[in-house]
Amino acid sequence: MTALRRHVDFRNKRLGVDLCFDGPQMELVQEVQIAMGVRETLKKALEKTDAQIRVLRKTIRTVNQDLYDKETGMNLDQHAQELHTHRSEVNQQVQLLLEEE
């Protein structure tokens, strides 16, 4: 890119008959314009990529929080089931004791 601009600048600084706008000059100018367009396109793509990375990082945090919440919920459910089982066992023992009396 810098080399293209330098070549155009050198050609534009020519004096007299050496200064001309011929095919090579037009091609150099066109190459500079194309290179600048590609650079802008890449810059926009980079900005979109950065934005997408931020979105993905936020999504990862959300998924990790959801996973933690689900694991906590499963642990609570398991604990509740154990309490229910224990309660049933206690009720059975109470029934046995009452029947013995």
Residues 6+ apart with CB under 8 A from 35: 1, 4
pTM of the model: 0.56
The pLDDT value recorded for residue 72 is: 96
Query: What's the pLDDT tens digit per position in 18-47?
Result: 667 677 778 877 888 898 899 999 999 999
Cα–Cα distance, 38 to 26 (Å, whole number):
18
* 61 pLDDT higher than 70: yes
Q: What is the pLDDT of residue 101?
A: 66
